Structure 1
Amino acid sequence: MKKLEKVVYVHQLKNEGFSISAIARKCDLTRNTVYTYLEKDFEAAMEWVEDLKTRKRKLDPYETHILNWLREHPDLSASQIADWLDERCSFKDIGESTVRTYVKELREKYHIPKVLDSRTFEALQELPKGKQMQVDFGELKVRTSKGSTIKLYVIAFVLSHSRYKYAEWQERPFTTKDVLRCHENAFQYYGGRTEEIVYDQDKLMTVSENGGDIIYTEEFQAYKENRRFNVYLCKKSDPQSKGKIENVVKFVKGNFGRNRVFHQIETWNEQCLAWLERKGNFQVHNTIKKRPVEVFALEKPHLREVSSLLSFESDLGSSITRTKVDPFVKTRNLNF
C-alpha cells in the first residue's frame, strides 16, 4: 500500500470507529505514526508524501550496500543489516525501526522477498540474579574466503536473569574437555558463575541413568565437584526449561553467523565477541524489554566467585566427542 493510500485508509478506519491500537495493527504502523497520519488532511497528506519523495534520508548513501547484501542474501533480517552497517560501514546513528522500514521499502521496490523463519518458544519464568545459567550447542555451515563451505560448532551460554550471552566457536565437534574449557572462558567473561547450570542430557556430560539417578562422565563429575555448581537436566523437547538458550543459539547463528564469510577460527571468535558487545548483549531484549548489558551490571555482584582458571588443554584425545545423535538415556528433570 502506497503511503498516501495508507494515510487515507487510516482516516477511513478512524471514521469507522476503530481504536488507535486496532488501526496500528491493521496498517502495520506504530501508534505514534497513526496519530501523525490522523493530524493530516488529504491535501496536507499529498504535500507530505511529495516531500518524502525528494527528501534525502540517512540511509540513502548506503542504499547500494544494503541492496547488494539483500540480493546476495535474501534471508537477511533488518536487525542483521543494522549490525552490518555498524560493523562494516561504521554507521550507527540510526534506530533499528528506521532500518526496518528502509529495508522493507527496498524489498518491495526491487522485488526481494524476505525468507520467513519461525520463532522459538521462550518460557516467561524469571529467576533471581545469579541463580541460573543455560548452556547449549549449535552447528552452522558457512562460506569460506576460498569459496568452499565449512561446518562450525558453537557452544552458547546465557544468564537466565539478565539474558547476558557468551558464545565460543570451533572447527570440530566438541569434546568433554572442550566443553569444560569453554565453561572456564565463560566464567572469566562473566566474572563468576551461577548457582545452577541447565543442560540437555548430552553424552558429553552424562553416561546413563541408574534408578532415577544420573551418572555423569568422569570428567564432568570431577569438574562439577570442583566448581561446586548444581545441575539441572532438561527433559527432551522441553522449551519451558531451556527456551532461553535455544533462542540464544538461534540468535547467534542467525544474526551473527549467517551469511558471514569465514577466514580463520581466531578471527571468527574475535568477531563474535565484538558482535556480542555491539549487538548480542546491547540490543534491547524482546522479553525483558531491557538491554542485557545493563541488567547484567546489576546481576554480576550476585555471581559466585570463581578461583583461578583450570586448564583442559592436555590429553584431548581421551575426551568423548559430541556428535549429533538421538538421546540414549531416559529423560527426566532433576532438581538439586
Structure 2
Amino acid sequence: MSLSASTAFVTAPAAAPLAQPRRAHAPVEQQAPAPATGASSSSAALGCLAVVAAGAAVAGQARGGRRTQRTARRVASWIPGVEAPEEKLSREEREAAEAEANRYAEFCAARDALNLPIAMPFLGQPVYREFMYNVAGDNGFDPAGIVQYEKDFLYQRRAELTHGRFAMLAAVGWPLAELYHSSLAQEWGWPNALAPGGRAPSVLNGGISLFNEEGPTAQSFFFVAVVGLAWFIENRFDETFDPLNLKGFALPGISKLLPEGRSWMEEAEIKHCRLAMVAVTAYVIEEVASRAPVTVDTPYLFSSTF
C-alpha cells in the first residue's frame, strides 16, 4: 500500500490560459482591407524604432554599458505592443501567483466539503491538513504538530507502519507463547524460555537480557538482525509487499463508512497497527504490575481455543 497522500496539495507551475473560441470567418473583403497611406507610414516608423531598439540592446550587451541598456529598454517601451523584459517577468510572476492561489482555494474547498473529523476540536485543524487531507487514518490528530511538511508525513507514516506491523505480530505471538510454549517445549525436549510465572519474555520482566557481565548477549544480536532485516525490506521496495494484490480490495458496504476517495485496505492496516501498538504496550504494563501472564489476568480474551 502506498505511503503517499491520497489527496495532497503540491505546488506546480501555473496552468495554461484557457483557449478562446474561434471567431467566425469574415468576408474576404473585410479580412484584407486596402492599407491606407498613413497606416503604411506608421508601420514604417514603428519598424524603424524597433530596429533602433534592437541595435541599442545589442550594443549595450556588447559594451556592457548600463546606460545604453536602459536607453534600449526605454525605446522598446515606446513601441506599442512591445513588452519590456521587466514587465514580462512581473506579469508572469503575477499570473503564477494567481494560479497558485486559485489551486489552493480549490484544495481547501474540496477538503472542507468532506467534513473530516478533528480529534481535538478545541485545537482546530492540524497543520498537515494545510497541504494534504483524507489520507489513510486521517482523524485530525496531531496535537504536537509533528507533521509540518509533506516529507515529515512520509517519514512518520513509514515509521508508524513499520512499528505497527511488528506490533501486530507481537500482539498475536505474545499470548500464543504463554498458552502453548511450555507444553510444546516439554513435548519436543526443548528448554522452557518463558519468564518467571509463565510470562512472555521481555526486557522489563527479565525474560530477555540484552547485556551481561561479558557484554552484548546473543539475544541482542538477534534483535538487531531482525530490525535490520525489517528496515531493509521496508526500504528496498517502492511499493509495500502485496503478493495477493489486495491494495484495492474493499468489503461490500463497509467501504462506504469511510470518506469518499479513501482506500479501505490502507485504512484497515493503519487502524490495526495502532490498535496492536496499544495492545502490546498494555501487555507489558499489565505483566510488570501483576507479575502474571496476560492470558491469566484476562482469560476471557485468551483461552485454550485462541
Name the TM-score, length of structure 1 as normaliser. 0.24
Higher fraction of strand: 1
Higher fraction of helix: 2
Name the TM-score, length of structure 2 as normaliser. 0.25
